[in-house]
Amino acid sequence: MGMVRMRVRHPNGTLQVQVEDSWTAVQLLEHLRSETGIQYFTLKEGFPPKALDLSDSGTTLGSLGLNGSAITLTPADPPAETADQVFSLRAPEAKPDNLSVRWPEMDGCMVLRVMADDNSCLFTALSGSLATGIKDPAPYLRNQIAEYILAHPETYNKATLEKTPEQYVRNLRGKDFWGGSIEISVLSDIYDIQIVAVDVKTNQTFKHGEDKSEQCLVLYSGIHYDRIVFACSPDYPPDADITRFPVDDESVIEHARELAEKLRQSGYFTDTNTMVVQCLVPGCDWLGDVKSANDHSKATGHQAFDEIPDSS
């Protein structure tokens, strides 16, 4: 396996890069972001400087012939945050008659409260249990998580976050960052509560904070989170919901899984393994799966994607 050596000149100095030639364009870009602390930039090679095209995220450095290159890194403005420039995919739609299951012993129902499809669904879903009374809970929870991560560098380090804590937190505080298992784990510690995510497709439960005495629940449908609550009736207002439950009450998980199964049968999930998405940036014909879309976004800065409907 060969090595690629290059010199990268940037506003803060010069970076000597030595990496394996099997590295992809995505790996190089993430390495440069990590080492320079610059998130958005353009790259030019040689003299006179010529723009370096790394839009194909899977291209290896060996195939680009960059060994011995002198590269200039120039900071660039972040992509404009417009309605058609957000890496967001539509959540599945739920029908009203599929949003609850009876819980006779409690004289009520386990109910799904559907969250807005706005990239903050996880934070909004959990706010019903964790940040009640907060007017704008999503940024509030994002900031709490960010501060916790920075205060615990031994746990939330570059190996865990796949980028420096400072870079991760910068993204987390943005309104387009999707929350996931890391954010759930942090909130479990902050609020001393077990958080259970019920997966619609597999009917599995994923528990964070199993040493807690109380639990709250969210439903995960592939690319979206919703809140699971108890209500005397599905028609009752959310203000009357019960959102916290004892962890030793097994019937809570049983009814949550029953609700998830009902939703699965109605098609309320997105299979990201088979889903095909396309880049909506003018002039870019890229399409692929969700994971590759994330790589493409990192490599190009493109953040406009949409699902290609299944025509079968």
Residues 6+ apart with CB under 8 A from 112: 94, 98, 99, 100, 219, 226, 227, 228, 259, 263
Report pLDDT for 66.
85
Predicted TM-score (pTM) of this structure: 0.64
Specify the higher pLDDT residue, 85 or 118.
118
Give the least confident one: 58-67, 85-94, 116-125, 256-265.
85-94
Specify the higher pLDDT residue, 255 or 50.
255
In this prediction, residue 80 has a pLDDT band, given cuts at 50, 70 and 90, of very low
Report pLDDT for 187.
96
Instruction: Note the CATH number of domain 100-266.
Output: 3.90.70.80
Domain map (residue ranges) of the chain: 3-75, 100-266, 276-307
Report pLDDT for 85.
31
Report the pLDDT averaged over residues 167-175: 88
Instruction: Note the CATH number of domain 3-75.
Output: 3.10.20.90
DSSP state at residue 94: -
Report pLDDT for 89.
54
The C-alpha atoms of residue 105 and residue 201 are separated, in whole angstroms, by 27
Specify the higher pLDDT residue, 91 or 242.
242
Same fold: 3-75 with 100-266: no
Report pLDDT for 1.
64
pLDDT tens for 53-70 read 776 656 788 888 888 889
The backbone torsions φ and ψ at residue 13, rounded to the nearest 5 degrees and listed phi first, read 145, -155
Report pLDDT for 86.
35
Q: How many Cβ atoms from other residues are within 10 Å of residue 234's Cβ?
A: 16
Residues in the chain: 312
- In sequence order, what E strands does 155-309 have? 194-199, 205-208, 214-220, 225-231, 245-246, 277-279, 287-288, 305-307
Report pLDDT for 87.
47
pLDDT tens for 204-241 read 999 999 889 999 999 998 888 999 999 999 889 998 99
Pairing of strands 194-199, 214-220: parallel
